[in-house]
Amino acid sequence: MKDKKIYWKFIALILIVGMVIGLSQYLQHGQKFSIEAIQNMVQSAGIWGPVIFFLLYAVTSLIAFPGSILSVASGLVWGPWRGTFYTVISATVASVLPFYLSRLLGRDFIQKVTKQNFLGKCDQFVSKHGFTSIVIARLIPFFPWDIVNFGAGLCGFKFRQYILATLMG
């Protein structure tokens, strides 16, 4: 069992490093991550545009990039209805990546470097206010969703509760 956990931690680390290197290479070659740049990238992909948009959302969910920029670009490319649909699906699925990575890689680390009862207190808070806190955090404009995604993975959120609150917020 322990070997399997180490294996998945290794796979997760490789994925993170690969995505961050890929994005940094893209940005180093003169590309700016603006609404216009995202709009052009997605539109130039043709029928693969939604897939590119989804992958952008997934990668940027790991590097503290504001999702609102992607959401606006989506609305400009596909209009309000399809843009909202692609954004909700992409943002929800992309929020799972940092949630599971922090659960897989971060919980043991945080337990070691903080007071023993820190995660216990976090778990107690989640059991009382978790669902509501995620919904409210998601509704606050310009609130860093990445903190919510990683934090929820560290605390004792049940996956189903987290996804439902994310969809509602």
Bigger pLDDT: 8 vs 101: 101
Number of domains observed in the structure of the chain = 1
User: What is the C-alpha to C-alpha distance for residues 104 and 78, in angstroms, rounded to an integer?
Assistant: 35
For residues 141-148, average pLDDT: 75
User: What is the C-alpha to C-alpha distance for residues 6 and 124, in angstroms, rounded to an integer?
Assistant: 28
Residue 11 has pLDDT above 80, yes or no: no
Looking at residue 38, the DSSP 8-state letter turns out to be H
- What distance lies between CA 36 and its chain's CA centroid? 22
Residue 68 has pLDDT above 90, yes or no: no
Residue 143 has pLDDT above 60, yes or no: yes
Identify which of 36, 121, 45, 50 has the alpha carbon closest to the alpha carbon of residue 85. Answer: 50
Identify which of 156, 63, 33 has the alpha carbon closest to the alpha carbon of residue 103. Answer: 156
Q: How high does pLDDT run on average in the chain?
A: 78
User: What is the pTM assigned to this prediction?
Assistant: 0.70
Domain that holds residue 101: 2-168
Q: What is the radius of gyration, based on Cα positions, of the chain?
A: 17
For the chain, the maximum distance between any two Cα atoms, rounded to a whole number of angstroms, is 52
User: What is the C-alpha to C-alpha distance for residues 20 and 114, in angstroms, rounded to an integer?
Assistant: 27
Band (pLDDT 50/70/90 cuts) for residue 4 is: low
Identify which of 90, 25, 100 has the alpha carbon closest to the alpha carbon of residue 52. Answer: 90
- Asked whether 57 and 149 are in contact (CB, 8 A), the reply is no
DSSP 49-98: HHHHHHHHHHHHTTTT--HHHHHHHHHHHHHHHHHHHHHHHHHHHHHHHH
